[in-house]
Chains A and B, each alone.
Chain A
Amino acid sequence: MAKPTSASDTAIVIRDLRKSFGHLEVLRGLDLDVRRGSITGFLGPNGAGKTTTIRAMLGLVTTDAGSIRILGRHVPDELVDLRGRLGAVVDRPSVYPPLTGRANLRVLAGIAGGVTASRVDVLLELVGLLPAADRKAGTYSHGMRQRLALAAALLTEPELLVLDEPASGLDPAGQRDLRRILTDLRDTGSTILLSSHVLPDVQLLCDHIHIIDSGRLIASGATEDLLAGAHGTSWTVDVPAGSETEAARILGAGGLHAIPTASGTLTVDAADPAHITRVLGEAGIWLRGLSPGGTDLESLFLHLTEASPDTVSRRGEESP
């Protein structure tokens, strides 16, 4: 599904990537392109293969087939050439609990090489951890560990930042700070691949979005294009109070996908709104209102992933 692009304007090119853990196929021919200088959302339900893809990109897991090129280098063969050009927060924030926040960064700076002591303090301030820098990281909250992990990923001022659930555990201020940091990085030319379940943030931040399910790419494109393409298929349906569940059931029986919302309306996918009025009218439920649904990323994501034929059979399975 990914269109070929020239090497100079892509930071990540993945082709036909395959990986199995025992009998479980986690990646099944994944293709992916990430443009340089963009924030690209990398979405998928649990077990879709996001973390495995990210780990493969970082050379942490071997793959069975396919190719990965990052910043023009083959992974894992030329991974050493990416040293210092690549930063990542993978899966969960990894810190040394017995060491202070500052010592954590100094140790990691030593491993990265060529990072000045002043850079450590700059990053502690950037992620808002300077007041807690001399506390042991073991006493940090999950959100503070996330901030520390983000600071570690930024130690070498990387060209490409790969973030797996960086907003997990962050308080609202932390999420706002994260958005600011990521947009600042993009504005200075960095490329960011962002895997997250906080879809409003992804919609707000990302220039491009890739959605995968069951180890395959199922949707890809500029954020605006994806949302525009989905617009017109979703409708907000207002039915009499108390009849939302029954209406959703009837619409479902009529072949329409309907989701009750918290505001007492239904979000219904239908190419023709007349179909909705006819199905509900025949069941004796009269509409109080019908309007084009403002398609958001969450609706699009749910629509795409719940429609995926593999989703039901894969539910409950998680990749290692």
Chain B
Amino acid sequence: MSELVTAEWRKATLRILPYGMFALAAVYLALTLLLIPIVTSILPPDVEGVEDLTAFLANVKAPGGYVFAAQQAVGQAAIFVTIFVAVAVAAEYGWGTMTATFVLEPRRGRVLAAKLLALCGISLAGTTLLFVVGVVMVAAVQPLLPPEVTSEMHGAWPVPTLRALGLGLPSIVVWVCVACALAVLTRNAGAAAGIGVGMAIGEGLLQLVPLLRPILVSSNTQALQSVTGVDPSAGFFGVAAEIPAWRASLVLVVWAVAAVALAAWCLRRRDVT
């Protein structure tokens, strides 16, 4: 099994795709964190809703801003991970290498497991690097923030920040499983990536619908990341995390299991053409 995982890891990391995806994600995250203080600072103080803006700015104020960086890193990584995994897996149908793989290793469940392990490893490593970029950017924008902006979190920041990252990483595993299932289902890199990104972005917006919130990956991820008592994302959607941690964990597990089951069913039951 380890040889199989190594082969899948090598296959994915010898391509430019993951590096390109995470480089794009890093640029996107850095710009997001940089633009928050810049855009808000150029707005006139008498603009309507300026109080909300102050609260919004507090998102990047250290030390709570580091938790925000962890949340943003995980949230944005979800989109880029979905593209990376969908393209990496679906491309194999286009190249015909899925056929070569199954001739050499007919146990398709093992092939799927090896793919998921390798892709999860790469995706988690990429998300962690993205988090580092986020922390650096939050530190960099502190001088740009007006003195009246304060962070809600007090005390030592590293522990809650790392907890926010650690509790957000399982959602990356979920997105890897979902993207893999979409790739196996559609066998088309463009379609799989398109549907995956649509899901990742769309379900983030669907958090605004209270009825759907308990079953979404993004809202449950935020709920998990909020167990530190800090919820900087409240400035974005006004969505306070009200889902218990145990239920949020369960929902993420259900998503992952359902995605893996779908991928396994497609791989085992459908003809490889």
Contact = CB atoms under 8 A, between A and B. Distances in A.
B88 to A, nearest CB: 10
A195 to B, nearest CB: 15
Interface string A50-86: 0000010011111000000000000010011011001
Interface string B11-48: 10011110000000000000000000000000000000
A107 B11 contact: yes
B104 A107 contact: no
A111 B4 contact: yes
Contacts of A153: 103
B95 A59 contact: no
A280 interface: no
Nearest to A96: B97
Interface string A142-157: 0000000100110110
Interface residues of B, number: 26
Interface residues on A, range: 35 or more
Given A60-B271, A96-B11, A108 B96 contact: no
Given A80-B106, A94-B97, A99 B271 contact: no
A113 B4 contact: yes
A111 B95 contact: no
A254 interface: no
A98 interface: yes
Given A94-B95, A110-B4, A60 B10 contact: no
Contact of B100 (A97, A108, A113, A320): A108
A80 B17 CA distance: 32
B228 interface: no
A268 interface: no
Nearest to A87: B103
A14 interface: no
B103 A88 contact: yes
* Interface residues of chain B: helix, strand, loop or mixed (majority): helix
A170 interface: no
A103 interface: yes
Interface string A188-224: 0000000000000000000000000000000000000
B52 interface: no
A136 to B, nearest CB: 10
B106 to A, nearest CB: 4
A87 B96 CA distance: 15
A111 to B, nearest CB: 5
B104 A94 contact: no
B161 to A, nearest CB: 36
Contact of B7 (A62, A98, A111): A111
B269 to A, nearest CB: 8
A283 interface: no
B99 A90 contact: yes
Interface string B82-111: 000000000000011101111111110001
A152 B10 contact: no
B97 A110 contact: no
Nearest to B98: A94
B16 A98 contact: yes
Contacts of B16: 98
A58 B101 CA distance: 11
B107 A80 contact: yes
A79 B106 contact: yes
A94 B14 contact: no
A8 B104 CA distance: 24
Interface in A150-200: 152-153, 155-156
A65 to B, nearest CB: 16
Contact of A86 (B6, B97, B103): B103
A111 B101 CA distance: 7
A307 interface: no
B105 A107 contact: no
B10 to A, nearest CB: 6
Contacts of A83: 104-107
Contacts of B95: 94-97
Contact of B96 (A59, A76, A80, A94): A94
Contact of B99 (A62, A79, A94, A110): A94
Nearest to B7: A110
A61 B273 contact: yes
Interface in A9-66: 55, 58-62
Contacts of A93: 96
Nearest to A153: B103
Given A82-B106, A110-B7, A112-B105, A152 B15 contact: no
B212 interface: no
A92 interface: yes
A296 interface: no
Contact of B3 (A79, A92, A113, A152): A113
Given A76-B106, A108-B7, 20 more contacts: A59-B106, A60-B99, A60-B102, A60-B272, A61-B271, A83-B106, A90-B96, A90-B100, A90-B103, A91-B96, A94-B95, A108-B101, A109-B7, A110-B3, A110-B6, A110-B10, A111-B7, A111-B101, A113-B4, A156-B104
For the complex of A and B, the 3 pairs showing the least CB-CB separation, nearest first, are A110-B7, A94-B96, A61-B271
Interface of A: 55, 58-62, 76, 79-80, 82-83, 86-88, 90-99, 103, 106-114, 149, 152-153, 155-156, 320
